[in-house]
Amino acid sequence: MTLTRRQDLPRFVAAAFALAAAAGLAAQDLTLPNRKDSVHFAVIGDSGTGNSNQMRVAQRLAAIRPKFRFDFALMLGDNLYGSSAPRDYASKFEKPYKPLLDGGVKFYATLGNHDNTNERFYKPFNMNGERFYTFKPPNASVRFVSLDTNYMEQDQLAWLQKELANSQSDWKIVFFHHPLYSSGGEHGSDLQLRERLEPIFVKYGVDVVFSGHDHFYERIKPQKGILYFVSGGAGKLRKGDALRAPFTAKAFDTGYHFMLVEVTDDTLYFQTISDQGQTVDSGTFLRVKRNNGTATTTKPATGGVKPTTNTVRP
């Protein structure tokens, strides 16, 4: 960059800081194995503020992508706060995630309580015009299911059972806005949804669930063999709101965050990174193999994997 005028100085300084920050961000330790043949994705929740906090998280996410090449990101709802006019899509989604969108990252959104239901028609959210939908990355035995927990009617429950029953994928990952388990003081666990959804998840072998709504990070101890995450801090934060329940494995509510996830064979690896670039949680989760209805676990992953802070067993 050539500095020719005094007026260029502030922009030059800002650019220099951005470059320095990006270099620092990319250099942070990745705890994920980063295998070429695995499924890589990011997770963000309650992101759509359009403010500097969302931008900071988005920049961290973009900075780490050259190192951990995720192909898609799950959006856990409250994708656009305030309204859903064209300017909101621009400031609360297109601008913050422009480097990722330009880099070919697909965003799969779910609807939150602050979202207009017509956001499902916005193509970059990849909802196929539906309130609830499913997708499967190519050449991967991972089935993702997105639900609309704002309005959990019988038809949606019936659809969910049918999709999970028909799925032959090794991994079944479900994502939606309202957490079934959360120690949040503001919202917390949605017990009505848990009563309806958990039995279905257990019956049809769901492995992992991601939710937002509570504005912090929380990893829940596996419940009936299912690993739950609350990840609602990519644009919003409620400091001190994670009250830590007996089911809490790890919580982080003093900063914004995003998640990186890698699924390979029978192991799911996760790393949660704050807006300051710190790893606040990481670990592995071993899939429960189901053979003729009998659940068995696999041996822990060994060799070639950097030590992680947690091995989560179902």
Partner 1 sequence: MSLTAYIVTLTFALTVSWSSTRASQSQPVNRDAQILADFTARVKAYVQLVDKADAGAPPLNETKDPAKIAVAQDALAERIRAARAGAKQGDVFTPEIAKKFRSLLRPPLKGKEGAETKEKILEEKPKGVPRQVNAKYPEKEPLTTMPPNVLLSLPKLPEQVEYRFVGKDLILRDARANIIIDYIPNAIT
| Closest CB 160 distance from partner 1, rounded Å | 12
Beta carbon nearer to partner 1, 9 or 85: 85
Beta carbon nearer to partner 1, 120 or 287: 120
Question: Residue 85 CA to chain centroid, in angstroms?
Answer: 25
Among 5, 10, 86, 246, binds partner 1 (CB under 8 A): 86
Query: What is the C-alpha to C-alpha distance for residues 264 and 73, in angstroms, rounded to an integer?
Result: 17
Question: Residue 25 CA to chain centroid, in angstroms?
Answer: 19
CA-based nearest residue to 144, from 190, 113, 114, 109:
109
User: What does DSSP assign to residue 93?
Assistant: I
| Closest CB 125 distance from partner 1, rounded Å | 9
236 binds partner 1 (CB under 8 A): no
193 binds partner 1 (CB under 8 A): yes
Q: What does the block give as tokens for 33? A: 């194995």
Residue ranges in 91-150 that form contacts with partner 1 under rule CB under 8 A: 113-114, 116-119, 121-124, 128-129, 149-150
29 binds partner 1 (CB under 8 A): no
SS3 state of residue 209: strand
84 binds partner 1 (CB under 8 A): yes
| Closest CB 150 distance from partner 1, rounded Å | 5
Among 178, 215, 236, 257, binds partner 1 (CB under 8 A): 178
Residue ranges in 270-309 that form contacts with partner 1 under rule CB under 8 A: none
Largest CA distance in the chain: 73
For residue 276, give every residue at least 6 positions away whose Cβ sits within 8 Å of its Cβ, in sequence order, or none: 255
Residue ranges in 148-177 that form contacts with partner 1 under rule CB under 8 A: 149-155, 157
SS3 state of residue 237: coil
| Closest CB 79 distance from partner 1, rounded Å | 12
Beta carbon nearer to partner 1, 45 or 255: 45
* 80 burial level (CB within 10 Å; 0-12, 13-18, 19+): buried
| Closest CB 28 distance from partner 1, rounded Å | 33
H-only helix segments in 171-279? 191-203
Query: What is the C-alpha to C-alpha distance for residues 256 and 46, in angstroms, rounded to an integer?
Result: 10
203 binds partner 1 (CB under 8 A): no
Angle between helices 8-27 and 52-64 (to 10 degrees): 50
Query: What is the C-alpha to C-alpha distance for residues 245 and 230, in angstroms, rounded to an integer?
Result: 13
| Closest CB 235 distance from partner 1, rounded Å | 15
Strand partners, 78: none
Binding-site size, partner 1 (CB under 8 A): 36
Please report where in the chains the tokens 């320095």 appear, as a residue.
20
- Binding residues vs partner 1 (CB under 8 A): 82-86, 88-90, 113-114, 116-119, 121-124, 128-129, 149-155, 157, 178, 187, 190-193, 195-196
